[in-house]
Amino acid sequence: YGGEEFIALLTGAQRDDVLRVAEAMRAGVQDGGLHANGRPVKVTVSIGVAMFGVGDSLDGAFERADKALYAAKRQGKNCVVFG
């Protein structure tokens, strides 16, 4: 299972706020307590983060987030990387 991507938009957030939320999401997935057939299933998530500000293009922000995501996967997965 894997390879699914989604986007979360946080308006008016600063870098530290965004990283804190992303880390909480990562930890929540890891510690979610998912079970299948009565057995625990390990689930993790790699998260790439990018900021979108005045003068930025949406495509540029998506590209930075995508590069950060792949950097997170290269770093061993189950982590948050800012791009």
d(CA 19, CA 15): 6
Per-residue pLDDT of the chain (83 residues; tens, 9 = 90+): 667 888 898 989 999 999 999 999 999 999 998 999 999 999 999 999 999 988 999 999 999 999 999 999 999 999 999 99
Would you please indicate which residues are annotated as catalytic (active-site) residues? 4
| Residue-range domains of the chain with CATH | 15-82 (3.30.70.270)
Q: What is the DSSP letter of 37?
A: T
Long-range contacts of 66-73 (CB under 8 A, 24+ apart): 69/5, 72/46, 72/47, 72/48, 73/46
Q: Is the pTM of this model over 0.95?
A: no
